[in-house]
A and B are shown apart, each in its own frame.
Chain A
Amino acid sequence: EDQVTQSPEALRLQEGESSSLNCSYTVSGLRGLFWYRQDPGKGPEFLFTLYSAGEEKEKERLKATLTKKESFLHITAPKPEDSATYLCAVQARNTDKLIFGTGTRLQVFP
């Protein structure tokens, strides 16, 4: 069964303290892996799509990487406005649906 596991569940960082979020997945043929940011009471906001092992994408303080079993979202020198829940989702070949993990709730303190 296709599955996504994210760790840690929650992460508290001091402003400027870099860290990484993990997304482990099992899927019957990966079409794409997606990272989203979700603020409380809002919809998932798209960050990155990764398609194959070794691929990396960057946007401001965020960098996403992909291996055959997991993806990492690296946050460099985070700011309080980076506080949110970060969701990982996978899409298998021959399907439209995204399978989401439970997310990592990130809090960045000044």
Chain B
Amino acid sequence: EPEVTQTPSHQVTQMGQEVILRCVPISNHLYFYWYRQILGQKVEFLVSFYNNEISEKSEIFDDQFSVERPDGSNFTLKIRSTKLEDSAMYFCASSVATDTQYFGPGTRLTVL
């Protein structure tokens, strides 16, 4: 069964450093998303992406964040200058249309 994959599973970085989180969505899906979950809190929407552009973003998704689909299979989230409060699980999701979203296993980001 096709599934969303994410790399790395765990990323440790120093405050102020740039990180890139990678995702391979399900192959026939057209809509891509990033969510995050701070430990013990709700899953929160960050951004949605369709047809090579951002279709919606939350207040969390400020100028420090960017997304890209560099080729036909990968979808990336970049954080330019990480802060301590960026520590969280980051989930990529994809969907065929704007309905059921399928999530990846997540990347645990730890900012020291």
Contacts and interface: CB of A to CB of B under 8 A. Distances in A.
Contacts of B102: 46
Contacts, number: 58
A87 interface: yes
Contacts of A32: 99-100
A34 B56 CA distance: 19
A87 B35 CA distance: 14
Contacts of A103: 42
A109 interface: no
Interface residues of B, number: 27
* Chain B interface, >50% SS class: strand
Contact of B103 (A36, A96, A97, A101): A36
A52 B49 CA distance: 26
B55 A96 contact: yes
A84 B102 CA distance: 18
Q: How big is the A interface, by class?
A: 20 to 34
A101 B56 contact: no
Contacts of A97: 33, 45, 48, 56, 58
Given A32-B99, A34-B100, A42 B42 contact: no
Given A95-B56, A96-B56, A45 B103 contact: yes
Interface of B: 4, 6, 31, 33, 35, 41-45, 48, 50, 55-56, 58, 89, 91, 98-106, 108
